[in-house]
Amino acid sequence: MKQIVCMKWGDKYPAEYVDKLYGMVARHITPPFRFVCLTDRPEGIRSEVECLPCPTVPVPPPHNNRGWRKVSLWNDTLPGMTGDWLYLDLDVVVTGPIDDFFEYSPELSYIVMQNWTQPGKGIGNTSVFRFRIGSHPYLLHELTAHHAEHIPRHRNSQTYISRTIKQIAFWPDAWCILFKTHCIPPMPQRWWRPPHLPSNTRVVAFPGVPNPDEAVIGQWPAPWYKRIYKHILPARWIADHWRE
């Protein structure tokens, strides 16, 4: 059984994002599979998705409801979940087959995409990672006990995980990419060339902005004084993949 999990808390992303993520996974995976959304707002999520309570992380606000909340996945146990899981952020676009994510180095307890904003520095981007429940609970315990030390020291939760975990490996480079790094043409070409999808890509991550619903219509939210270079044409290929 292939197992996929995402997290949705608060109102940053609507149920539509969960529904479309499920649709993309279903089109690019060989059944059987289990799809779980850990959420505090299950309303409107399609019936094929199994909704379970979203775990919390005991650190002060606002960090408890930001990316640090994903560290809660490293608890000793997660109710209703066991074994290996492929975690996908809600703002990713699945563009190719993902069976290999479950078959790649099955002995490893943590495999993550390269953080392409800091390539080669041993930092993972936790938009896409496979983890084994209960394999590294010290990550959560250490953060809980010493959050006042770790949160100022590390830029974000994925840096904390990468610097603290005892075993880390990365997906093949071509599988997981960043929209802003790999798809958007350099300046000034982005003014006349639309974003492209590199071959052999399995998952495109959209950290920050634009989100998929913005990129598909050529919107890149930015202050007026940055719009000369934060400019894109519509990435129409997103519509082929980002759908229910």
Per-residue model confidence as pLDDT tens for the chain (244 residues):
999 999 999 999 999 999 999 999 999 999 999 999 999 999 999 999 999 999 999 999 999 999 999 999 999 999 999 999 999 999 999 999 999 999 999 999 999 999 999 999 999 999 999 999 999 999 999 999 999 999 999 989 999 999 999 999 999 999 999 999 999 999 999 999 999 999 999 999 999 999 999 999 999 999 999 999 999 999 999 999 999 9
Q: Give the pLDDT confidence score for residue 116 in this predicted structure.
A: 96
191 and 115 in a common domain: no
Q: What gap in Å lies between CA 70 and CA 158, rounded to an integer?
A: 9
Indicate whether 141 and 235 sit together in one domain. Answer: no
DSSP bridge pairs for 114: 124
Q: Are residues 202 and 150 both part of a single domain?
A: no
Pair (127, 235) in one structural domain: no
Per-residue pLDDT, 38? 98
141 and 204 share one domain: no
Is residue 154 within 8 A of residue 160, CB to CB? The reply is yes
74 and 50 co-located in one domain = yes
- Last-in-domain residue among 170, 200, 223: 170
Domain around 109: 2-170
pLDDT of residue 99: 98
Last residue of a domain, one of 142, 170, 198: 170
Contact between 201 and 181 (Cβ < 8 Å): no
Q: How many residues does the chain have?
A: 244
- In terms of Cβ atoms closer than 10 Å to its own Cβ (0-12, 13-18, 19+), residue 14 is middle
- Distance, CA of 244 to CA of 19 (rounded, Å): 6
* 73 and 119 in a common domain: yes
- Which pLDDT belongs to residue 155? 87
User: Is the link from the previous residue into 32 a cis peptide, with omega within 30 of 0?
Assistant: yes
Tokens of residue 75, six digits: 């608890």
